[in-house]
Amino acid sequence: MIEEQIIKPTKKNGSHFNGFSISEIGDDHLYTSLETPMHKDAFLLSDEQKKQRISQLFGEIMDVLGLDRSDDSLQGTPDRVAKMYVEEIFSGLNPVNKPKIALFDNKYQYNQMLVEKNISFYSNCEHHFVPIIGKAHIAYVSSGKVIGLSKLNRIVQYYAKRPQVQERLTNQIAKELENVLQTKDIAVIIDAKHLCVASRGVKDDTSATVTTYYGGKFNSAEKIAELQNYINT
């Protein structure tokens, strides 16, 4: 069972929540809920309308920065950024892009853990919109159904392709796998590098962040050790 960690903010003024400044919340890696924060009318605009609006707004950002958008190299940048945001790096915000999952009977009667390791992903920190680059390791024990291996990768990619916090990403993947595979016997480990730490702020280029979720049979020292052995082999 995933226990959702929630920080319930009490607004004190325009720039503080629960005694934290807005900048501190970002730098301290806090997050407010298991679900990605989105407003109710997030999908009133079509993807094409979103790209047009983002292109316009990003062009304004470039203007404020003093960039000459008449230069051949920069002319198409607002459109490229808009397309990248909507169709690629933030495509996981739209439920339409959620991977279709088919389950199959476990005809081989394989009842040990299945491990898919070193799933590469690229995400973006929701606090600074800079990349999170990492690998996910997933394991499950079949409850009678199995999933195609590539679908595990696609689930990781779907939840990674949105502004994220690593703790939330870990739990979202685990929750989705629990629902799809109809089992609590799920493990998710994410090992990632955050450019918001490496390229700005403290500017530590060597540190990495590891988050884990162990459910059901994996919530034991023996199973965790077995899983770690497979991952490190």
| Rounded-to-integer distance, Cα 163 and Cα 129, Å | 7
Query: Looking at residue 28, what is its pLDDT?
Result: 60
182: left (phi over 0), alpha (psi -120 to 50) or beta: left
Superfamily of domain 11-97: GTP cyclohydrolase I, N-terminal domain (1.10.286.10)
Span 187-197, pLDDT tens digits: 999 999 999 88
Where are the CATH 1.10.286.10 domain residues in the chain? 11-97
Where are the CATH 3.30.1130.10 domain residues in the chain? 103-232
Catalytic residues: 125-128, 166, 194, 196
Report the residue count for the chain.
233
Query: Looking at residue 10, what is its pLDDT?
Result: 45
Q: Give pTM, 2 decimals.
A: 0.86
Query: Looking at residue 29, what is its pLDDT?
Result: 56
Q: Phi and psi for 79 in degrees, rounded to 5? A: -65, -40
Which CATH number applies to 103-232: 3.30.1130.10, 3.40.50.720, 3.30.420.40, 1.10.10.10?
3.30.1130.10
Query: Looking at residue 222, what is its pLDDT?
Result: 96
Relative orientation angle of helices 166-181 and 149-160, to the nearest 10 degrees:
140
Strands across the sheet containing 113-125: 163-164, 113-125, 131-141, 186-194, 209-214
Q: Which residues of the chain have pLDDT under 70?
A: 1-32
| Residue 167: its H or E element | helix 166-181
Query: Looking at residue 108, what is its pLDDT?
Result: 87
Query: Looking at residue 203, what is its pLDDT?
Result: 85
Query: Looking at residue 139, what is its pLDDT?
Result: 98
